[in-house]
Structure 1
Amino acid sequence: MVPAHDEAASLPATLRSIRAAARHPALSGVEVVTVVVADACADDTAAVARAGGALVARESFRNVGRARAAGAEAARRLLAAHGDRLWLATTDADTVVPPHWLAHQLRQARAGWDCVVGTVRVAPHPALSAATAARHDAHYFAGRPPGAGAWRHPHVHGANLGVALGPYLVAGGFPPYTYGEDRSLVAALEGTGHRVLRTDACPVVTSGRRDARAPHGFGAFLTALALG
């Protein structure tokens, strides 16, 4: 599921990457539905989403937490036959996921994890200077072990997150926050004793733009680094 506020320009690349991930051989026989929540959009986001093969929920929240929750509920209704076996994978409309993204999450779900919390890499952008990119990486990868060892990282991104429906509901779902809804959900899952995997094994590529859609979101963080 993908929340989107005026993302007609960036959404096609996101949807292409999700379609590619859905075609991974490991997902043979697995039903995959992409839901785009067009939230308070004044552009062609909804039309672009439909053209890209997604199901569209049009809302007027201007609130990413409510948009993600609406996407989860739409998926739950559409795939009701799967019950609590439904897996909710969420990303952002300015993000490209790798071809094995869904296969990776499915593998972890089958291994018994209730939630998969992934990492991001920042794509080059005209607004992102080399100095700001370097500051971001120094901050982001602090504490990462050398080599190819597992990294139980401290980050949470709605752009790279997956959760089983049952634990999602027990934890209360995405709260109606204008930012931090992803971190709050993961904290609730950890607080209720669910198995949360924090892994750098399957990062997504997210935009390096600084015109943030959500206050205090990733774009705002990059802006703060640029000013710092």
Structure 2
Amino acid sequence: MILSVHVVIPARDEQELLSRCLLAVRQAIAHATAVRPGLICRATVVLDSCLDDSALVVAQGGARALVVQHGLVGAARDSGARVALAEDAAAGVPASRTWLASTDADTVVPPHWISGQLALAENYDAVIGTVQPLGLTDPQLLAQWHLRHQLREGHPHVHGANLGVRGSTYLQIGGFRPVSSDEDVDLVRRIRARTDRWVATDTVRADTSARMQGRLRGGFSDYLTTLRGTVTEEAG
């Protein structure tokens, strides 16, 4: 049984959206600890090269801040995970009983996000969740997004904004690599190469900001921008 959960959230100048994310994470932690008394849950925001007031938002949001200067989302996620695992190891919690839940600073997770992942963790070592765009008001763009995304069990998608992995599995595959994008796809590829104890599920779906200008190249916002261009071309 999982004894400890660490929610790891990379952030780079996210003061505008971070408070919404942290509120949702707090609600998910409260739900999980109510369902599983004795469960230890913590949230760590990895502040990577931030120049805004994200640190203040973290302090007000009841999370822990880890300040780094990587400039790489993969390295930021890994730093948060490594600190969490080291903390649990020092407390005598084996990595096999630590769960690492990954989301993003512009994402809103559902209240059952952690408890849902832990229910699946009874049989799996990794949970690959879905996301849907939050605040996307263009009906044509939204329709095209849904045509390209399968919000179902066994879906083919990978999102760093909605992932969970057992600590021991994370260590065995080497964790997130220090890359600027697709660190989530790379991690899941290595998990799948090592074990069949993973599940792609829509049961813990999260909402990710539909902004068109994100904080990294190749991320969700870049995908939406490219999709908008495709829709415009098709309409023309």
Structure 2 length as normaliser, TM-score?
A: 0.89
Q: Is the 8 A contact 1:10 1:93 kept in 2?
A: yes
Alignment of 1:41-190 (within 5 A): 41-80=50-89, 81-84=92-95, 85-110=97-122, 112-125=123-136, 129-141=138-150, 151-190=153-192
Report the secondary structure of 1:34's partner residue: strand
Q: What's the C-alpha RMSD, in Å, of the aligned pairs?
A: 1.2
1:42 positional shift: 0.6
1:178 positional shift: 0.5
1:77 positional shift: 2.3
Structure 1 length as normaliser, TM-score?
A: 0.92
Q: Which of 15, 18, 22 is 1:11 aligned to?
A: 18
1:194 positional shift: 4.3
Q: Which runs of 5+ in 1 are unaligned?
A: 145-149
- Distance in 2, matches of 1:60 and 1:204, equals 28
Report the secondary structure of 2:110's partner residue: coil
Deviations 1:144-191 (A, max 9, x none): 6xxxxx620000001000000111111110011111000111110110
Amino acid at match of 2:26: R
Report the secondary structure of 2:42's partner residue: coil
Aligned residues with identical type, % of pairs:
39
Deviations 1:126-147 (A, max 9, x none): xx52221111111113xx6xxx
Which sits farther off after the overlay, 22-31 or 32-41? 22-31
Which sits farther off after the overlay, 57-66 or 79-88? 79-88
- Distance in 2, matches of 1:204 and 1:220, equals 18
Amino acid at match of 2:94: G
- Distance in 2, matches of 1:214 and 1:152, equals 28
- Distance in 2, matches of 1:27 and 1:183, equals 30
**Aligned residue for 1:225?**
227
Deviations 1:85-134 (A, max 9, x none): 11000100000010000000111112x20000000111114xx5222111
Amino acid at match of 2:88: L
Q: Is the 8 A contact 1:35 1:74 kept in 2?
A: no
**Aligned residue for 2:27?**
20
Q: Which runs of 5+ in 2 are unaligned?
A: 1-7, 231-236
**Aligned residue for 2:9?**
2
**Aligned residue for 1:147?**
none
